[in-house]
């Protein structure tokens, strides 16, 4: 593909090869040839074999586990393209790691989300494409243009089909007070009310008490969030919802971090189904029957095509 004198080139590091291949297939553009590995001492090694001079380069890499290795792969690849005189470099980061460190919760805390944004910019990226940042204000941490997709664009049609387009009994649940806006935006597609989990820890080393604000008795509850990490909050919310008489409990989230005991917790929980996207690679060992992984490659491919063609991204954003 060649537009206004610039050829488009796609590259991928090691975090999510399946997603990168899906993007390549949707666009009909082969992934560029590059080796991304390690030297014997553990340093990141990158060798690019395709010419990128003057090209519009898109490098696909989630900052997921192993987080530091994947971040360094992204930075070193960007640096390689910059030094090879690429015309424009877009970092396609389906999952932006370190996003939860977005403010100083107490004295002497780092704001690592800003640090990572600076690192990507300094490495040589001209813009970034990502999805569902943990906190919207992180968009302002970048000194380069940022295009922000939302996972609800892909999650909503699946959930609609799941309930056969009949949402009279649906309630959308926010797992905490901070996610109310995200849950409300999702709920409007179903014209559904929202409920909130109010988490409180009475004192140190005492289990959280989860209070449900809203009516969930006899309802089909959808817990909606941006990510699932250890699944402690999710499973605790599901248990509380079940205790309040919910008919069914579904979770929908964009990013399947699924660290630590997450899989075991989900498997043994009151959750009927957990729906996630493939912004983070989910290995077969974690694909238990309760977890449904939806592809996101088509949406990222369309966004890349629009960026390359200098067209608006806003038609893709379902807020």
Q: How many whole angstroms separate alpha carbon 72 and alpha carbon 261? A: 26
Q: Which two tokens stand for residue 227?
A: 């990510």
| Total residue length of the chain | 319
Q: How many whole angstroms separate alpha carbon 265 and alpha carbon 31? A: 37
CA atoms within 13 A on the CB side of 134: 18
| Cis-peptide into 66, omega within 30 deg | yes
Q: Which two tokens stand for residue 128?
A: 């970034």
Is residue 199 part of the annotated active site? The answer reads yes
3-class secondary-structure state, position 94: coil
CA quadruple 154, 316, 77, 112: dihedral sign: negative
Identify whether the C-beta of residue 131 lies closer than 8 Å to the C-beta of residue 149. yes
Q: Which two tokens stand for residue 170?
A: 């649906």
Instruction: Please tell me which residue in 199, 242, 247, 286 is annotated as part of the active site.
Output: 199
Q: Which two tokens stand for residue 164?
A: 């056969």
**Which 8-state DSSP code applies to residue 70?**
H
Q: How many whole angstroms separate alpha carbon 245 and alpha carbon 259? A: 29
Q: Residues near 49 by Cβ (< 8 Å), separated by ≥ 6? A: 32, 33, 34, 35
3-class secondary-structure state, position 173: strand
240 to 43, 217, 234, 245, 269: CA distances (angstroms): 46, 11, 10, 9, 11
207 to 108, 147, 258, 303: CA distances (angstroms): 27, 39, 21, 43
Which residues are designated catalytic?
Answer: 199
């Amino acid at each position: 593909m060649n537009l206004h004198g610039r050829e488009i080139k796609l590259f991928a590091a090691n975090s999510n090869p399946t997603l990168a291949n899906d993007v390549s297939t949707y666009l009909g553009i082969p992934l560029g040839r590059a080796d991304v590995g390690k030297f014997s001492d553990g340093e990141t090694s990158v060798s690019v074999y395709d010419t990128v001079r003057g090209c519009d380069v898109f490098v696909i890499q989630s900052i997921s586990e192993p987080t530091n290795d994947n971040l360094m792969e992204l930075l070193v690849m960007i640096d390689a393209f910059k030094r090879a005189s690429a015309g424009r470099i877009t970092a396609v980061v389906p999952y932006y790691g370190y996003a939860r460190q977005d403010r100083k919760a107490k004295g002497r805390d780092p704001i690592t989300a800003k640090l990572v944004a600076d690192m990507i910019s300094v490495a040589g990226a001209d813009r970034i494409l990502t999805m569902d940042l943990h906190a919207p204000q992180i968009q302002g941490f970048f000194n380069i243009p940022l295009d922000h997709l939302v996972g609800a664009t892909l999650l909503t049609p699946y959930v609609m089909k799941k309930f056969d387009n009949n949402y009279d009994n649906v309630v959308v649940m926010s797992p905490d007070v901070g996610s109310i806006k995200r849950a409300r935006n999702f709920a409007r597609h179903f014209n559904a009310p929202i409920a909130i989990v109010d988490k409180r820890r009475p004192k140190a080393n005492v289990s959280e008490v989860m209070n449900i604000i809203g009516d969930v008795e006899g309802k089909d509850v959808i817990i909606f969030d941006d990510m699932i990490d250890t699944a402690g909050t999710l499973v605790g919310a599901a248990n509380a919802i079940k205790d309040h008489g919910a008919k069914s409990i579904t979770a929908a989230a964009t990013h399947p971090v699924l660290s630590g005991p997450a899989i075991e917790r989900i498997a043994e929980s009151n959750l009927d189904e957990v729906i996630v996207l493939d912004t983070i690679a989910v290995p077969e060992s974690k694909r238990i029957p309760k977890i449904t992984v939806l592809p996101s490659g088509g949406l990222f491919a369309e966004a890349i095509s629009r960026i390359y063609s200098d067209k608006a991204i806003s038609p893709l954003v379902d807020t």
